[in-house]
Amino acid sequence: MDKMEKEEVLSSFSKYKCDLDNFFKEHRISRTDNFMSIQHVHIIDIVKRNISEAMLARLGKVYGTNTAYASLVINALLPLWIARLFMDTFNFGTAEEAVRQIKDQLAYSTYLNALNNEPLESDLEMW
């Protein structure tokens, strides 16, 4: 996923827009802060930072920057979009398989960082 370019990822939006629209319509009236237990903090480092920022900008433009929808856009729609990218990139048949791979990848990355006593990149950027 880290080899994907911004234009390639952003152009995939139209492919997944129907899924994103449906998820937004179903969850906009309730508090939703994840997609299948994945939040933006879990997936933000899966793609390059400039790509995730561009993805958030696109989602905000389409679904609004209203604060009532901020958590839904950031914590649910972004992970949904990335899960769909995983499905296509790695030929997973279901979102569940993609989410399982994301969780496995996150766990392995956390393990390597702990083993090498290295903080996550996102931890460094907070300072």
pLDDT digits 0-9 by tens, 23-67: 999 998 888 888 998 888 888 778 888 999 999 999 999 987 667
Q: Is the pLDDT of residue 123 over 80?
A: no
Report the percentage of the chain scoring pLDDT > 70: 90
Contact, 52 vs 9, CB < 8 A? no
Crossing angle, helix 78-89 and helix 49-63, to 10 degrees? 120
Can you tell me whether residue 83 is helix, strand or coil?
Answer: helix
